[in-house]
Amino acid sequence: MKQPTQLNLSPATRAAQALHFVNPVHGAVVPGIEPASTFARDGDYQPIGNAVYARDGGPTVDHAEAILANLEGAATSMLFTSGMSAIVALFETLEAGDHVTCPIVGYHGTINWLHRLVEKRGIKATFYDATQDGALAEAITPATKIVWVETPTNPNWDVTDIAAAVELAHAVGAKLAVDCTVTPPCTTQALSLGADIVFHSATKYMNGHSDITGGVLSFAQNSPFVDEIRGLRTLQGTVMAAFEAWLLIRGLRTLYLRFERASESALTIAQHFEGHPKLAAVLYPGLPSHPGHAIAARQMTNGFGGMMSLIARSRAAAQHVATHTQVFIPATSLGGVESLIEHRIAVEGPHSVVKPELLRLSIGIESVSDLIADLEQALDSAP
């Protein structure tokens, strides 16, 4: 009898089936939750399975991490209680005198934490303008240990060439870490482009339902550096809990569908509002007019995502629109099934350089015609 052909399954299929999960005991096709905080040992006092104590992880966390590593093409992935706890663990590996680069516009939590390290720990940091050619190269020094890139940057959606950044980082022996929160592995494979570390706020697209907080670091290779971060996670007690890991697994199963729908709707909305008389600009890398469109098209191979920003004609107009939508919900976060609107400068810290006229939109999976009509009515009544 001819042997069946072994299929080379697409990542969308692997995600949808949670790595073809079937419970070996009773056949359930949905992964269960293992909430135990401690795990027994055998007669030789060796762990019966891989788990010992929940502060190191557990079966549900292991399953979620395996899915993430599989989708990222990573040697290993590590889950944390929040995006910030993952960022803190990564930068905790820096020593006094070490140098790190970071875009001047980006996720404000990262920027605020680096400012704290500069003030309290003697870490050196250079914040570069991601819109300027050569700015990243000028920011890197022989003392640079981590080159932090966010692409597209939040909330201006400036695009960085990951492969070019890899060459710059590796030339001085630094690691390239890429914040891909708005570009999950269904559209950008940063590790395959040469990045050493990929970060996600798993709260966002990975989970996609606005019902957990979480962070994930994925690594191209296992190394003592990775072991150090794993040890830091244990010491800080910041491993994701089992229930949140289970919700993350559930969310990952629809990641490819959700991202495709959000990307299609966002592009339609961006095209509709580009040149709108009540707006100064539309910021979306999927528009051919966007300065980073060509690089984004090369790196984002399955849609440009659901994140965009509108620049209103005044701060007052931006505040009005943010509080007068009927479908968009005025709230912080992104990547969920519901569409959100945010007057961004109102929620960022003292180091923010975001335009006061900027409205950040996270496009969900609702009817795109409803979303367009909602923004039109809010803009129509704006000062």
Burial-class residue 264 by CB neighbours within 10 Å (0-12, 13-18, 19+). Answer: middle
Q: Active site includes 55?
A: yes
Q: Starting at the edge strand that comes first in sequence, how are the strands of the sheet with 340-343 ordered?
A: 279-283, 307-312, 358-362, 340-343, 329-330
Catalytic pick from 179, 196, 258, 374? 179
- Phi–psi pair at 281, nearest 5 degrees: -165, 160
Catalytic pick from 14, 53, 55, 121? 55
Q: H or E stretch including 65? A: helix 59-72
Beta bridge partners of 239: 80
Q: Active site includes 53?
A: no
Q: Starting at the edge strand that comes first in sequence, how are the strands of the sheet with 197-201 ordered?
A: 76-80, 215-219, 197-201, 175-179, 144-150, 99-103, 124-128
Which residues are CB-contacts of 271 (< 8 A; sequence separation ≥ 6)? Answer: 287
Catalytic pick from 204, 230, 250, 344? 204
Contact 168, 188 (CB under 8 A): no
Contact 147, 174 (CB under 8 A): yes
Report the C-alpha gap between 192 and 287 in whole angstroms.
25
- Count of alpha carbons within 13 angstroms of residue 32, beta-carbon side: 10
Closest residue by Cα to residue 378 from 335, 326, 307: 326
Closest residue by Cα to residue 245 from 67, 118, 71, 90: 67
Q: Active site includes 284?
A: no
Q: Active site includes 175?
A: no
- Active-site residues, by number, are 55, 107, 179, 204
